[in-house]
């Protein structure tokens, strides 16, 4: 993308919200895993407990003696601080997300950087992109200046599908929130369905983060991370 040399690779607000989101995601993941350990069984529908059959149960020990896991021991209960950290980080990530969305629409960030070019939205281009990604091909130098098609689609999915779904399913588990908006949980099929979808969305987001870090490493970990911190891309820019 031809821009003058002083304009940064990533805008300040994108950099700031990226790292805030990364920090919150880490806090939400660690605390969320602790909460799952207190009941590693998942259900579908409205209700579910150890007296009812599970949809599936994670093969891990539990922090509650009342959950039959097959392990002969009970992990320490970490739910107190985990819950508090989970909701504190959830608030921060929601504020960060609103800031990012607001600024993104105002500055046309989504339009100019994330929305795929109409011409690139063909099966041929997509297949080519997938193949070059699967071959772990080093990206071309001009990719340091803009996002490729798969990146754009992945980022759009994270921003406009996975994060909203995460927040929705999280709120759907709140007895106070659904007392005002019962449809938030009823459209998902019930309280336990919301919890199960929340868990699967976590898996999707964790997969994204792992692939994201792998691709950043492939493209050159240090320069890409530096670009996301300082805003400056290191590769020499071609003059417009």
Partner 1 sequence: MNRISRRTWLAGGLSAAAGVGVAAALARRNGLIPPDAGLRFGTGATLTYAAQRLLTRHSHAREFPRSQISARPFANPTQMKEAAYQQSLEARFAGWELAVEGLVTRPGPIALSELKRLPARRQITQLVCEEGWSYIAEWTGAPLASVLEAAGARPEARYVVYYSMEPGWWDSVDMADALHPQTLLAYGMNGSPLPPEFGGPLRMRVPRQLGYKSVKFINRLVVTDNLKGFGKGYGSAPPEFGYSWYAGI
Select the span of 44-52, 129-137, 147-155, 156-164 touching partner 1 (CB under 8 A). Answer: 44-52
Q: Based on CB atoms, which residue is closest to partner 1, 83 or 232?
A: 83
Q: Based on CB atoms, which residue is closest to partner 1, 68 or 128?
A: 68
Among 70, 179, 236, 239, binds partner 1 (CB under 8 A): 179
Q: Based on CB atoms, which residue is closest to partner 1, 99 or 150?
A: 99
∠ CA 5-6-10, rounded to 5°: 95
Q: Based on CB atoms, which residue is closest to partner 1, 134 or 176?
A: 176
What is the CB-side half-sphere exposure of residue 237 using CA atoms within 13 A? Answer: 15
Of 97-156, binders to partner 1 (CB under 8 A) are: 103, 107
Residue 197 binds partner 1 (CB under 8 A): no
Q: Which helix (H) or strand (E) holds 42?
A: strand 41-42
End-to-end CA distance of the chain: 9
Among 120, 132, 146, 174, binds partner 1 (CB under 8 A): 174
Output the CA–CA distances (angstroms, integers) from residue 203 to 36, 166, 167, 196, in the order listed: 13, 11, 15, 11
With 0-12 / 13-18 / 19 or more C-beta atoms within 10 angstroms meaning exposed / middle / buried, residue 176 is: exposed
| Interface map 213-232 toward partner 1 (x if CB under 8 A) | --------------------
Among 99, 153, 162, 178, binds partner 1 (CB under 8 A): 178
| Residue 145 to residue 10: CA distance in whole angstroms | 9
Rg of the chain over Cα atoms, rounded to whole angstroms, equals: 21
Residue 3 binds partner 1 (CB under 8 A): no
Residue 51 binds partner 1 (CB under 8 A): yes
CB of 192 vs partner 1, minimal distance in Å: 7
Output the CA–CA distances (angstroms, integers) from residue 106 to 43, 118, 132, 163, 202, in the order listed: 41, 22, 33, 20, 29
């Amino acid at each position: 993308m031809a821009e003058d040399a002083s304009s940064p690779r990533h805008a300040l607000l994108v950099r700031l919200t990226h790292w805030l989101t990364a920090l919150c995601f880490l806090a939400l993941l660690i605390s969320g895993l602790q909460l799952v350990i207190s009941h590693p069984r998942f259900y579908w529908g409205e209700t579910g407990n150890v007296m009812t059959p599970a949809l599936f149960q994670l093969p891990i020990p539990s922090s509650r003696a009342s959950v039959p896991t097959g392990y002969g021991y009970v992990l320490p209960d970490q739910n107190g601080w985990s819950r508090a950290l989970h909701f504190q980080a959830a608030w921060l990530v929601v504020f960060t997300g609103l800031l990012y969305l607001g600024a993104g629409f105002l500055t046309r960030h989504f339009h100019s950087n994330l929305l795929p070019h109409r011409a690139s939205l063909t099966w041929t281009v997509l297949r080519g992109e997938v193949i070059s990604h699967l071959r772990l091909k080093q990206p071309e130098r001009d990719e340091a200046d803009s996002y490729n098609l798969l990146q754009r689609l992945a980022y759009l999915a994270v921003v406009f599908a996975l994060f909203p779904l995460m927040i929705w399913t999280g709120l759907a588990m709140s007895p106070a929130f659904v007392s005002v908006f019962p449809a938030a949980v009823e459209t998902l099929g019930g309280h336990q369905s919301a919890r199960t979808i929340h868990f699967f969305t976590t898996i999707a987001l964790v997969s994204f983060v792992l692939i994201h870090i792998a691709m950043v490493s492939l493209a050159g970990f240090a320069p890409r991370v530096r670009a996301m911190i300082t805003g400056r891309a290191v590769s020499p820019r071609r003059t417009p």
